[in-house]
Structure 1
Amino acid sequence: MSDQLPKASFRFAVLFTTALAMAACAGRDEYAAPVAVQPTTVPGLALSETGVGLVDQSTRFSSSAISEALGGARVETVNATYEGRVIAQLAAFGPSGLQMARFQGSGGRITGAQIVSEDVPGPGGARVGMTYRQTGGNSMQCDEGTGSWEQMAVCSRSGSSITYVYSVPLWREGRMPRGNELNDAVLNRMIWEP
């Protein structure tokens, strides 16, 4: 009798597993259309020396103008703290529903932008979340950040209108890491200021 119990348990396990597999296949429709997946990157949208996608210095600083230039992206007014003061910015939201860029303006025109998500690539394919090494940081001049960028590395290439701000792990008080010490710093945002 004790020899039959393990065989019975084994048969039950095989039958149960087979039944589960058949149930899983029964609901599958071989002719169903595949579900479209929304890309996280907006096609054609990238940061360059002239702006973000079709948003440049000539773009009006308004939700509707920025939305139109970004292919219908949702744009809303947000408040941000910058160097100790609160300023209004226009934030553009990507397909994921998260902010992808913030725009500053003056005199009714765009004066700058900050890329705050990986949805918008920068020059050379740089994206928020990449490391200093991955973005070619060693070809830039870096300074210690101040104000909003305190204890961050603020880097740029000579003559460029784009600044790269890196969060530096294990920042040593009183001394900004240099060279290879920055390799694991993470790109926090890219700032365009024409």
Structure 2
Amino acid sequence: MIHIRDLLRLSGVLMSAALAGCSVLGSDSDFAPPPSRAATFRITAAGVPGLPPDTAFSKKAIEALEPGYAVSSVTMATEQNESVAALALFRDGLQVLQVLPGAGGRIGAVHGVSESLVGPNGERIGMTFREARMDRLSCREGQGNWLAMPICTARGAPNVTFVFAIPGYISAGDLPDDATLASATLQRIIWVPPVG
């Protein structure tokens, strides 16, 4: 038989455990929300697993290297106000990657657009600027189609960038104040082939 004092002791233990896992909003902790989906790819300076930089820019080549993904032709808008024919990788009907053409018939930039992706330092689509532990000194304001969107270079991966969005923010010609920037949300992770 369970006694009342045992139930009270158990509820106290559970309450202490729950409070230990809490963080204070606005603190400088390294809090990051748990990922809502299992990671499918980790995008690093080396690229995207399964898609080496010398991969041919073709539906057939990419499908052979990434089994389980459906590859379709899409048109996407770039920062430079251009429309580019790209190849998109889908899994379970959701778009995960956009692959742009590069030099010599090979793949170029790869855009990660799914919350199931992980950046070089654990960054996830949907994280805030603060949760991703970004430094404003590594960022610039986007132009063209990405006007008012902070674009930041990944720590330790100079050929990986992050594109953040700030709903309702209107460009003042530079990055917003720190408080506004802290709430920007990561929208895409971009890898480009290393130069040289």
Global fold match (TM > 0.5):
yes
1:65 aligns with 2:61: yes
The CA distance in 2 between the partners of 1:155 and 1:178, in whole Å, is 15
The change in CA–CA distance for 1:173 and 1:86 in structure 2 (over 3 A counts) is: closer
Q: How well do the aligned residues superpose, as a CA RMSD in angstroms?
A: 2.2
The CA distance in 2 between the partners of 1:70 and 1:40, in whole Å, is 19
1:101 aligns with 2:100: no
TM, length-normalised to structure 1? 0.71
**Secondary structure of the equivalent of 1:160?**
strand
Give the structure 2 partner of residue 191 of structure 1: 190
Gaps of 5+ in 1: 1-38
The CA distance in 2 between the partners of 1:172 and 1:77, in whole Å, is 32
- The answer to whether the 8 A contact 1:140-1:157 is kept is no
**AA partner of residue 146 (structure 1):** Q
- The answer to whether the 8 A contact 1:115-1:191 is kept is yes
Paired-residue identity, %? 32
**Secondary structure of the equivalent of 1:130?**
coil
- For 1:27-176, list aligned pairs within 5 A: 40-41=37-38, 43=40, 45-82=41-78, 83-95=80-92, 97-106=93-102, 107-138=104-135, 141-157=138-154, 160-174=158-172, 175-176=174-175
- The answer to whether the 8 A contact 2:57-2:105 is kept is yes
- The answer to whether the 8 A contact 1:132-1:183 is kept is yes
The change in CA–CA distance for 1:173 and 1:90 in structure 2 (over 3 A counts) is: closer
- The answer to whether the 8 A contact 2:39-2:118 is kept is no
Larger Rg computed on CA atoms:
1
TM, length-normalised to structure 2? 0.70
- The answer to whether the 8 A contact 1:92-1:100 is kept is yes
Gaps of 5+ in 2: 1-35
- The answer to whether the 8 A contact 1:76-1:91 is kept is yes
Following TM superposition, the consecutive aligned residue runs of length 4 or more in structure 1 with deviations greater than 6 angstroms are none
The CA distance in 2 between the partners of 1:140 and 1:157, in whole Å, is 11
The CA distance in 1 between the partners of 2:179 and 2:133, in whole Å, is 12
Query: How many corresponding residue pairs?
Result: 154
The CA distance in 2 between the partners of 1:99 and 1:145, in whole Å, is 23
The change in CA–CA distance for 1:94 and 1:139 in structure 2 (over 3 A counts) is: farther
**Secondary structure of the equivalent of 2:118?**
coil
Higher normalized contact order (CA 8 Å, seq sep 6+, divided by chain length) = 2
**Secondary structure of the equivalent of 1:133?**
coil
The change in CA–CA distance for 1:67 and 1:178 in structure 2 (over 3 A counts) is: farther
Give the structure 2 partner of residue 24 of structure 1: none
